[in-house]
Structure 1
């Protein structure tokens, strides 16, 4: 993956986020997307060794489109300024559409790599299952959170968007209530890429995904 070319393209796109510019630079985008697809393909094969459920994941389905959905957005810019992918066993659904726990990463114009794992904004029925799983398997849940590699890499689950009150149907006196208030069960981390050493990207991604594997596996039990 030519990281210097990718970040340069995304930086220029950020300044010229319009259809005419994108059409003029479509050949550059096509080359970069093909390289990104190769990266995701290799990453899936690597991860399938430790997470066999990923073996049938379609790399093309894992990539997010660069076109933005502007139907419900107040920001009327047509293109995303990141390259991103979500690796899920079925390879078909986004995590927010009920695809279950996923591995996610994105690269932006500044060379920032964001890597995440878990479930972001799961639908209501799925979120209810996860919350009950926290209660039913409290010991397993906290064992996962205390996993040495997971804790060192991520620190814990993200607390953003946490409810201030217990969700409907859950007792405020429940010992796990603070975790039940979470709306996302996800861990993420950001690092600055060395664009002069693109060979390190795949290694960084694979190791970070392996570190978040305990969370992914626990969520699959829900």
Structure 2
């Protein structure tokens, strides 16, 4: 995969973010997109080899649309300045997300601002066995790669139905339960990027399994 070509296209798109420019440069976009889909297909196979519970996700299903949803976000530009994709995309569970953009690149997994029923299920799981999640987050590899849970808005008080002196109140106050690893463009463009993706996937596997069990059991 020529990631330098991917970033070069995104830089041009960011400077010319309109349908007229995209229409004139659609061949380049489709070439970059199709190459990225091929890379995702390859990564899909590699992750399936290391995780017996992996949910096969083709590149076409993994990749997100590059168009912004202007119906709900009318102030956003017409197109995104990144390629986003979710692998291990089993329905109603967390996926493994890859974000390659002009301004930031990162690998992530878990639930960012989950809908209310998922959030309730995760909090119920923490109430039942929060020590398990706490130990997962405290593991040295998890701390080294993700520095704990991804920083996001938290409740200032306890969630409804939970005491403010609950043993795991700091976990219960989270509105998002996600792990996030920032990466550089240099890392993406290196020959070791596939290995970095696999390392990250493995490091967050127990974390994602805990959350997935919480929302499906």
TM-score by length of 2: 0.91
SS in 1 for 2:50: coil
**Any residues of structure 2 matched to 1:106-185 within 5 Å, and which?**
106-110=99-103, 112-185=104-177
Q: Deviations for 1:15-72, whole angstroms, at most 9, x for unmatched residues?
A: 1100010011111111111111111111111111232332432331111000110112
Distance in 2 between residues matched to 1:109 and 1:155, nearest whole Å: 23
Contact 1:6–1:109 (Cα < 8 Å) also in 2: no
Find out whether 1:212 has 2:208 as its counterpart: no
Contact 2:55–2:88 (Cα < 8 Å) also in 1: no
Distance in 1 between residues matched to 2:187 and 2:155, nearest whole Å: 39
Deviation at 1:74, TM superposition (A): 4.0
Find out whether 1:53 has 2:53 as its counterpart: yes
Q: Deviations for 1:116-139, whole angstroms, at most 9, x for unmatched residues?
A: 111111110110010111121122
Q: Deviations for 1:56-99, whole angstroms, at most 9, x for unmatched residues?
A: 32331111000110112142421111011012342xx5xxxxx3
* Partner of residue 183, structure 2: 191
* Match among 95, 101, 117 for residue 94 of structure 2: 101
Distance in 2 between residues matched to 1:115 and 1:148, nearest whole Å: 18
Task: Please list every run of 5 or more consecutive structure 2 residues that lacks an aligned counterpart in the other structure.
Answer: none
Deviation at 1:170, TM superposition (A): 1.5
Distance in 2 between residues matched to 1:148 and 1:44, nearest whole Å: 27
Distance in 1 between residues matched to 2:115 and 2:33, nearest whole Å: 30
Q: Deviations for 1:120-159, whole angstroms, at most 9, x for unmatched residues?
A: 1111011001011112112211221122221111110023
TM-score by length of 1: 0.90
Distance in 2 between residues matched to 1:18 and 1:60, nearest whole Å: 24
Distance in 1 between residues matched to 2:50 and 2:127, nearest whole Å: 27
Distance in 2 between residues matched to 1:61 and 1:213, nearest whole Å: 21
Instruction: Point out 4+ residue stretches in structure 1 off by more than 6 angstroms.
Output: none
Are residues 29 and 140 of structure 1, via their aligned partners in 2, closer, same or farther at CA, if it must alter by over 3 Å? same
Number of equivalent positions: 214
